[in-house]
Structure 1
Amino acid sequence: MGAEFQPSSCKNEEEVHCDSVHPLILGLQPTAMVDHVARVDWSLLSQIPGERGGSFPVAIEELEHFLREVKTHMLSSPNDPSPIKTIAGGSVTNTIRGLAAGFGVSCGIIGASGDDEQGHSFINNMKFYGVNFSRLRMKKGPTAQCVCLVDALGNRTMRPCLSNAAKIQADELMREDFKGSKWLVMRYAIFNLEVIHAAIRIAKQEGLSISLDLASFEMVRKFRLPLLELLESGNIDLCFANEDEATELLRGEQVADPETALEFLGKHCQWAVVTLGPNGCIAKHGKEIVRVPAIGESKATDATGAGDLFASGFLYGLVKGLSLEECCRVGSCSGGSVIRSLGGEVTPENWQWMYKQMQINGLPIPDPSK
């Protein structure tokens, strides 16, 4: 039925996952982050500033307030005995961890963490799955945290706290960080724009392809012009957007829908993907456009990480040389695997579910133990 899930372990310098000198895929996570994920009732969500479903930074006082409130608003779940789950977080982290853990792709993280409990937790989580963290600088100060609030329908609202968090600076990036790798995975964020531009410049000098996730509809809405400039630069090879982000990208245009956004992204990127939740995805490469339905059950326990794990599967498809439609199908399988439980970390049982779905759909099944 496919490969049995086995978390990688570091035994010698020749192992693919964590000791690879030049990981195939690198993730730029300028600020290492720890996610606190909890299922909560509607009454707490109504107190959260900003729109539901998005992701926008808050101050440390707000984050601590949310964490206190979570304790009295949590929903029980038979599948998740622990009411709150704390794991290494961040969109890029989820994608990189998924590639390493579920697909056996050698991956690394570029960024910085604080020398605190959260920072060590982040590193231990990445190390467990065999992600190369030799490019992660540890600095004095706190590690970023994010509260991920999941409602009864599985929709998530994220409020990260980046106040004074340890962060890698643009001038700290070195060509050696990127040498020998093939892909750089990034997430759009206005407060990381200088680092993003520096990373793109060096990555292109080293011959890497660039993947960009549009982050959240709130980020696109508030900082649309710098994003458009980034896309129109021609440096982004692959772009992922969900339906809300895609619509927000073209807000003010005569037509602002996922199909029009896909056409726009396809003009500037070699590959463009718009995910449509339970309706699957649409993707474009050159003149080819495909529409692929979702795979598996449509009901989500928690949508956290769905787009990030979709990206894991799609990137796996690209490095394996699969067709555009097959890349989307693998992405649909991996995206479907993470929504079956709480948080952006896929459980061993759900990796097995993904492998079965890949087998049913005639897709090449990875062996994560190699």
Structure 2
Amino acid sequence: MAETRFDVLTIGNAIVDVIAPIEEGFLSREGLTEGIMHLVDAERSAYLYDRMPADKRQISGGSAGNTAAGVASLGGRASFIGKVADDNLGNVFADDLKRLGVHYGVSRLSNGPATARSMILLSPDGERTMNTYLGACHQLTTSDIKEAEIGAATVIYMEGFLWDPTEAKKAFVTAAHYAHKHERAVSFTLSDPFCVNRYREEFLDLIRSKTVDIVFGNIEELKALYQADFHGAVQAIAKDAEMAAITMGAEGAMVISDGEIITVPAYPVENVVDVTGAGDLFASGFLLAYARQRDLRTALQAGCLAASEVISHIGARPVLDLQQLAIENGVAI
């Protein structure tokens, strides 16, 4: 087994989030459905970017990138693999990870699509409407997956959002192969019911073939995966997966492992501002605790605590020091 350099290595879409509050009527004027993630092309992306309010914030994001940022904030050693272009937003992304202490060594894309961006429109009630241009992040290939880097991480984590491009799928499976070769755990998030509905059979095959060891999802994703009610879906994934960590919103979270189900309540949040990144940060806490061989109840608590911080403000990355927050709440990661 290679020397352990990272607690958690995440693989996913490298996206810069462009976040702005909008006034009533903006969505209907632009023909957008509230609360939905819309995939847009380069032209539509540029159009919406120009029409967003001037006070927009640009923060590097992407589901797996957010998870890596959360691991670093919790005091863990994190690495991220994802593709950006050699452009201004690519610089924003790489500089953000460096500032956070997340290792990022993927080569930049030149002479190709621009760095991906997700324009997140926040309605007055906190609902988010996302318009995502995937650009360079869909150019990830097996050449970006280095065995030495994968083998140096206690657990790797991959996002279902990356399951669209054929080359990225190959990269995903290659990473899992390297991880298992070095006796490392492989985890995977279902990402979104939209993803699950497109790739249900392939996701089930990843789980049943033991390509992945730990599955992350929320109630709606799990129900979509098994086309069953929540109880039936829990029973089904208990048979298929070695371990499944399921978030339940305000009800907390559960882990299913070796026929046992453990649940913990959510941490109270006085004012839910923006739910972007809640699942990503749950994975941060759970995975770091798992990598450090803490018990599963502690892993759930760490996940719920990290998620509670990120939904209390705009943006999908923590603004408080999560390591200090864990200490204050007696969560021994």
Q: Structure 2 length as normaliser, TM-score?
A: 0.88
The change in CA–CA distance for 1:263 and 1:106 in structure 2 (over 3 A counts) is same
Q: 1:192-211 counterparts in 2 under 5 A?
A: 192-211=168-187
Q: Is the 8 A contact 1:37 1:147 kept in 2?
A: yes
Mark the CA change 1:274 to 1:166 in structure 2 (over 3 Å): closer, same or farther.
closer
Aligned to 2:193: 217
Q: CA 1:214–1:47 in 2, change beyond 3 Å: closer, same or farther? A: farther
Over 3 Å counting, the alpha-carbon distance change for 1:182 and 1:293 in structure 2 is same
Distance 1:237 1:165, change over 3 A: closer
Contact 1:273–1:282 (CA under 8 A) maintained in structure 2? yes
| Distance across 2 between alignment mates of 1:178 and 1:210 | 10
RMSD: 2.4
User: Could you say which residue in structure 2 is the equivalent of 1:63?
Assistant: 45
2:164 equivalent in structure 1: 190
Deviation at 1:61, TM superposition (A): 1.9
Distance 1:342 1:233, change over 3 A: same
Q: Distance in 1 between matches of 2:27 and 2:201?
A: 30
The answer to whether residue 148 in structure 2 is matched with residue 176 in structure 1 is yes
Say if 2:6 is the partner of 1:32: no
Q: Residues 161 and 235 (structure 1 numbering): CA distance in 2 closer, same or farther, change over 3 Å?
A: same
Partners of 1:198 and 1:119 in 2: how far apart?
Answer: 25
- Change in Cα spacing, 1:115 to 1:319, as seen in structure 2 (3 Å) is same
Q: What residue in structure 2 maps to residue 139 of structure 1?
A: 109
- Please tell me whether the aligned partners of residues 82 and 137 of structure 2 are also in contact (alpha carbons under 8 angstroms): no
Structure 1: distance between partners of 2:85 and 2:307: 30
Question: AA paired with 1:124?
Answer: D
Report the equivalent of 1:363. Answer: 331
Alignment-mate amino acid for residue 40 of structure 2: V
* Residue 22 (structure 1) shift: 2.7
1:331, CA displacement in angstroms?
0.8
Report the CA distance shift for 1:236/1:248 in structure 2 as closer, same or farther (over 3 A). Answer: same
Q: Per the alignment, do residues 356 and 139 of structure 1 end up closer, same or farther by CA in structure 2, a change over 3 Å counting? A: closer
- Corresponding residue for 1:167? 139
Q: Percent of aligned positions with the same letter in both sequences?
A: 25
Counterparts of 1:260 and 1:49 in 2: how far apart (Å)? 37
Deviations 1:162-182 (A, max 9, x none): 235572212442322323221
Alpha carbons 2:70, 2:281 under 8 Å: kept: yes
Report the secondary structure of 1:266's partner residue. Answer: helix
The SS at the match of 1:273 is strand
Q: CA deviation at 1:210?
A: 0.9
Maintained 8 Å contact 1:114/1:166: no
Equivalence map 1:251-262=2 (5 Å):
251=227, 255-257=228-230, 259-262=231-234
Structure 1: unaligned runs, 5 residues or longer: 1-19, 73-82
Structure-2 change in CA distance of 1:200 and 1:296 (3 Å): same
Q: Distance in 1 between matches of 2:210 and 2:285?
A: 24
Distance in 1, Cα, partners of 2:144 & 2:95:
23
| Matches of 2:42 and 2:204, distance apart in 1 | 30
Whole-angstrom distance in 2 between the partners of 1:269 and 1:87: 34
What residue is the counterpart of 2:304 in the other structure?
332
Tell me how far 1:250 sits from its aligned partner: 2.1
Are 1:105 and 2:76 counterparts?
A: yes
Aligned 1:241-320 pairs, distance under 5 A: 241-251=217-227, 255-257=228-230, 259-297=231-269, 299-320=271-292
Equivalent-residue separation in structure 2 for 1:286 and 1:146 (angstroms): 38
Contact 1:56 1:218 in 2 (8 A): no
Q: Which has the higher contact order (CA 8 A, sep 6+)?
A: 1
- Tell me how far apart the structure 2 counterparts of residues 53 and 203 of structure 1 sit (CA, whole Å): 36
Q: Greater share of helix residues, 1 or 2?
A: 2
What amino acid does structure 1 have at the position aligned with 2:331? Answer: L
Deviation at 1:46, TM superposition (A): 4.4
The question of whether the paired residues in 2 share the 8 Å contact of 1:238 and 1:270 is answered with yes
2:22 aligned partner, one-letter code:
V
Q: CA deviation at 1:52?
A: 4.5
> Deviation of residue 304 (structure 1)?
0.7
Q: Which whole-Å deviations, capped at 9, do the CAs of 1:3-55 have from their partners, x for residues lacking one?
A: xxxxxxxxxxxxxxxxx9832321113x4221112233453344677865444
TM-score (norm 1): 0.80
Asked if 2 retains the 8 angstrom alpha-carbon contact of 1:295 and 1:357, the reply is no
Equivalent residues in 2 for 1:150-161, closer than 5 Å: 150-161=122-133
Assess if the C-alpha contact under 8 Å between 1:262 and 1:274 holds in 2. Answer: no
Tell me, yes or no, if the aligned pair for 1:330 and 1:358 is still in contact at 8 Å. Answer: no
Evaluate the alpha carbon distance shift between residue 267 and residue 89 of structure 1 in structure 2; reply closer, same or farther with a 3 A threshold.
same
